[in-house]
């Protein structure tokens, strides 16, 4: 998984940028280790969700890259919510972020498609249960968003989009209420610097953009929604990594 947080970051005045232990990479390792999300690097190590690959920040964007250490179990969603939560905690240590947009490379191919097709409730039970975290959100925090999914040269997201929308609308949840989709290009959603574009396979070509309302404009809600879209994508034939781009309308 790879995430890029785009926006304006006001650095904390007390922070020393020359201390190696306080850079984005070291902070992400420390935080994900503390939350038991990090898999140890020793041979035959067990536990954890991901191994650390890289992290960094430059003008207007902070980015983080990890590798899932095992296939995602059939009864668990893609761990995007934990991943973005960890990234958000790290950025908060560095400065105050005004989040403008989020990009996430979703390894949909890590989901067990056959298990999810035969017993879809198993793959969704935890995710739908977790939406209770957003039950007490301030109604004034609800935000209109666009979420674009790109499958590069693979056209599967195009054909899957109509059924994905119908399937998502069949669940009672208020985190991401999706009401429509389009298959047209949204050039205004091209973000700079293109951190993820440089690291994904292929170039953007096939895409679908989903429009809806988010419970709140937060990395928590965006992570939940990304995992929900990954489940929908997997169920309707997507077997390739997807680049997700989300921004407010």
pLDDT value for 45: 54
pLDDT value for 74: 81
Q: The whole model's pTM is what? A: 0.92
Mean pLDDT within 227-239: 94
Residue 197 confidence (pLDDT) above 80: no
Q: Lowest mean pLDDT: which of 12-21, 69-78, 209-218?
A: 12-21
Residue 203 confidence (pLDDT) above 70: no
Q: Lowest mean pLDDT: which of 80-94, 111-125, 147-161, 200-214?
A: 111-125
Provide φ and ψ at 153, rounded to 5°: -80, -10
CB 93 within 8 A of CB 224: no
pLDDT value for 201: 47
Domain ranges, residue 182: 2-248
pLDDT tens, position by position, 7-29: 999 999 988 877 767 899 999 99
pLDDT tens, position by position, 106-163: 999 998 877 666 655 566 888 888 889 998 999 999 999 999 999 988 999 999 999 9
pLDDT value for 49: 92
Percent pLDDT > 70 in the chain is 86
Residue 206 confidence (pLDDT) above 60: yes
d(CA 222, CA 91): 16
pLDDT tens, position by position, 43-65: 555 678 999 999 998 878 899 99
3-state secondary structure of 92: helix
> DSSP for 112-160?
-HHHHHH-HHHHHHHHHHHGGGGTT--GGG-EEEEEEEE-TT--HHHHH
Residue 204 confidence (pLDDT) above 90: no
pLDDT value for 72: 87
Mean pLDDT within 83-110: 95
Mean pLDDT within 82-111: 95
Average pLDDT, whole number, for the chain?
A: 88
Number of domains in the chain: 1
3-state secondary structure of 73: coil
């Amino acid at each position: 998984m790879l995430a890029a947080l785009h926006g304006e970051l006001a650095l904390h005045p007390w922070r020393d940028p020359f201390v190696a232990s306080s850079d984005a990479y070291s902070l992400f390792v420390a935080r994900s280790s503390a939350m038991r999300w990090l898999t140890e690097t020793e041979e035959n190590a067990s536990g954890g969700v991901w191994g650390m690959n890289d992290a960094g920040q430059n003008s207007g964007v902070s980015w983080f890259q990890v590798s899932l250490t095992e296939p995602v179990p059939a009864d668990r969603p893609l761990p995007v919510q934990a991943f973005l939560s960890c990234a958000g905690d790290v950025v908060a240590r560095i400065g105050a972020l005004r989040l403008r947009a989020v990009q996430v490379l979703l390894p949909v191919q890590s989901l067990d498609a056959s298990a999810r097709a035969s017993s879809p409730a198993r793959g969704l039970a935890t995710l739908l249960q977790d939406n209770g975290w957003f039950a007490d959100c301030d109604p004034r925090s609800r935000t209109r968003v666009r979420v674009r999914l790109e499958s590069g040269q693979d056209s599967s997201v195009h054909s899957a989009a109509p059924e994905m929308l119908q399937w998502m609308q069949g669940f009672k949840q208020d985190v991401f209420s999706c009401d429509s989709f389009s298959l047209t290009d949204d050039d205004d959603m091209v973000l700079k610097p293109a951190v993820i574009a440089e690291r994904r396979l292929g170039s953007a070509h096939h895409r679908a953009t989903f429009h809806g309302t988010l419970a709140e404009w937060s990395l928590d809600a965006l992570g939940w929604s990304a995992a929900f879209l990954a489940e929908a994508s997997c169920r309707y034939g997507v077997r390739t990594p997807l680049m997700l781009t989300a921004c407010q309308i």
